[in-house]
Each structure stands twice: as structure tokens, then as C-alpha cells.
Amino acid sequence: MRIVDGVTEVDPDFRAILDAAPDCYLVLDPRWFIVAVSDAYLSATMTERQAIVGRYLFDVFPDNPEDPDADGVAKLSASLERVARDLQPDTMADQH
């Protein structure tokens, strides 16, 4: 991956490998923009690639505006910050 003029570009070979993966993957750049998804992810979520790739993660998956107690964005954001800071996996509960 590399960022050119504010847009993250993904190597075509990486994209081909990702598309062939049997599992669901969503790949983020360091700014938390979605840069790639596996075909399995698209199938499982009934999503189209062009609808999410290139968009900011929390624009695609915002908190529920009808739930004043929604805190999924804050929890996931904190988890991603820990991963970036510690370079270690972070385990968190399922988010709805």
C-alpha cells in the first residue's frame, strides 16, 4: 500500500491474493480508510466493493444514531489505536 495524493493505492498482486482468500477480510490504511475487502467479505455482508472501498471506516460503520448509548465507534477506535501503538492484536467484545 502507498498513499498518493491522499488516496491509498493497493498493489494489484495483493488485491488478487485477498480476493482469493476464503475468509472475510476488510483492510484499512493507517488513517482508517477501507482500502480493500475480500470477495468472501462482500458475499457475507451483501456489500458491493465500490460502496465501501475508499471510504472512512466510521462513515461506513457509524454508531446507531437512534441509540443514545451507542459506543461501538469509540470502543473500536480505542482498540485500533492500541493495535497501532502496541503493534499487537487487541481482543474486544463483539460490537453491534
Label residue 11 by pLDDT band (50, 70, 90).
Answer: confident
14 vs 52, more confident: 52
Label residue 21 by pLDDT band (50, 70, 90).
Answer: confident
Q: Which pLDDT tens digit goes with each residue over 37-95?
A: 999 999 999 999 999 999 999 999 999 999 999 999 999 999 999 999 999 999 998 87
The amino acid present at 92, given as its one-letter code, is M
Please tell me the pTM assigned to this model: 0.79
The amino acid present at 50, given as its one-letter code, is Q
Strands 7-9 and 2-4: antiparallel
DSSP character string of 16-72 = HHHHH-SS--EEE-TT-BEEEE-HHHHHHHT--HHHHTTSBHHHHS---TT-TT--H
CA distance 55 to 32: 9
